[in-house]
Amino acid sequence: IYVQIMDEVRRGLVLGTLKPEDALPSVRQLAADLRVNPNTVAQAYRELEREGVVYVRRGQGTFITDASTNGTERRALARGVAERALVDAHRNGIGADELVDAIREVADTHTKGDA
């Protein structure tokens, strides 16, 4: 589950829904929302901090770093999301071309929604 939490944060960065200095929900709040153990959320946040995606301000919360949105980092994040999506697709009998087509369809839908 903690990997899924990490993936969602990365996805938010790639899609632009999370930006530098955005606060993430508190560990307790996200754990309650997802109905998971707070230690699971804390583990995800620690890993994201170790990767340089987020940082912690004592007493204030967990925030997205500026470094997480630079071009190289964004590309690495996007590649990681793509690799996990491809592995998941293969597990479900979906080929790479079919996955790419589906991603384009979803991206087109999201782009039209933003316009």
What CATH number corresponds to the domain at position 15? Answer: 1.10.10.10
Distance CA 83, CA 72 (A): 16
Structure tokens at 6: 């990490």
pTM of the model: 0.63
Strand partners, 62: 56
pLDDT of residue 61: 95
pLDDT tens profile 12-65 = 887 889 999 999 999 999 999 999 999 999 999 999 998 888 999 999 999 999
Could you tell me if 79 and 48 lie in one domain?
Answer: no
Could you tell me if 56 and 15 lie in one domain?
Answer: yes
Which of the two residues, 11 and 56, has the higher pLDDT score? 56
* Residue ranges making up the domain that contains 84: 74-114
How does residue 72 score in pLDDT terms, banded at 50, 70 and 90? low
Q: What percent of the chain has pLDDT over 90?
A: 53
Structure tokens at 34: 């997802």
Could you tell me if 58 and 36 lie in one domain?
Answer: yes
Could you tell me if 63 and 103 lie in one domain?
Answer: no
Residues 6+ apart with CB under 8 A from 25: 33
Label residue 78 exposed, middle or buried (CB < 10 Å: 0-12, 13-18, 19+).
middle
Could you tell me if 64 and 78 lie in one domain?
Answer: no
Could you tell me if 97 and 65 lie in one domain?
Answer: no
State the number of CA atoms in the 13 A half-sphere of 109 facing the CB: 6
Could you tell me if 78 and 64 lie in one domain?
Answer: no
For the chain, the domain total comes to 2
